[in-house]
Amino acid sequence: MTQYLERAVVLRTYKLGEADRIVVLMTQSHGKVRAVAKGIRKTKSKIGARLEPMSHVEILLYKGRELDVVNQVELISSSAKLHHDLDRLTQGISMLEAVDHIASDREPAPHLYTMLVGALQSLADQASPVVVAAFYWKLLAAEGVSPQVQKCVGCEQTVELVAFDISQGGAQCRACRTGVSISQPALQLLQQVLGGQLNQALAQEASAASGELTHLATQAMEHFIERRLRSTSLFDRR
């Protein structure tokens, strides 16, 4: 068996047999990897707590034909802080689910790994009502589907923007409007997220605008991946 050392974020786990688990990892260099963690569900397992969703780990793997095999695991950063706060837990799970749907098995995507590590660290450091929405929009931008938010996606004019159409790809003026209404505070938050003012957006307190932005970001992500996100039921969409 070929052995390799990787850095990874645990996306999810599920049971296999009586004592094992399959661990889905977003790795730094190998894309999304599925691996068997043998004996992890036994009470004496030393690595079980290190392979919780959202954990950032350094992991030694044996390469298999379909599933790799976990050999050793060391924590880089624990997810315990996120698991102990319901709001941060649901936000973190939402980030993991989006990456899980976007990433392809064994196709290197270092930008997804880097973005996820940064977003989870930001979530651990600072509770922000905008963090999931910002992550979704940045993720979509990285995948080449960033919306147009500074001018009308229809007529290209820098006039008052009053609506947003996901399928058309951005904000719209009154004359071109086909999408849903968007408030000016929510539009300004979106412009900050995509316009290099992310820290300013993350510093905003919870408001109708942050709820609107999260709802719109979720719809945009679901439109892109062409399926519903299971974690959306955990959000209070204001």
What is the rounded distance in angstroms from the CA atom of residue 175 to the CA atom of residue 192? 25
- Closest of 223, 133, 132 to residue 186, by C-alpha: 133
Q: Which residues share a beta bridge with 24?
A: 12, 34
The CATH homologous superfamily to which domain 1-127 belongs is Nucleic acid-binding proteins (2.40.50.140)
- pLDDT, residue 236, reads 45
Backbone angles phi, psi at 55, to 5 degrees: -70, 140
Q: pLDDT per residue over 69-92, tens digit each? A: 999 999 999 888 898 888 899 999
Q: What is the pLDDT of residue 119?
A: 95
- In the chain, where the domains are located: 1-127, 132-238
When computed from its CA atoms, the radius of gyration of the chain, rounded to whole angstroms, is 20
Q: What is this structure's pTM? A: 0.91
The torsion angles phi and psi of 20, rounded to 5 degrees, stand at: -100, 165
Q: 130 exposed, middle or buried (CB, 10 Å; 0-12, 13-18, 19+)?
A: buried
pLDDT given at position 235: 53
Q: Do residues 228 and 94 lie in contact, with contact meaning Cβ atoms separated by under 8 Å?
A: no
Which tens digits make up the pLDDT trace of 16-31? 988 899 999 999 999 9
Other C-beta atoms lying within 10 Å of the C-beta of residue 224: 17
What gap in Å lies between CA 25 and CA 92, rounded to an integer? 15
H/E element, 75: strand 68-77
CA distance 61 to 19: 19
Residue numbers of the chain with a pLDDT score lower than 50: 236-238
Give the tens place of pLDDT for each residue, 169-181.
Answer: 999 999 999 999 9
The residue assigned the tokens 């963090």 is 131
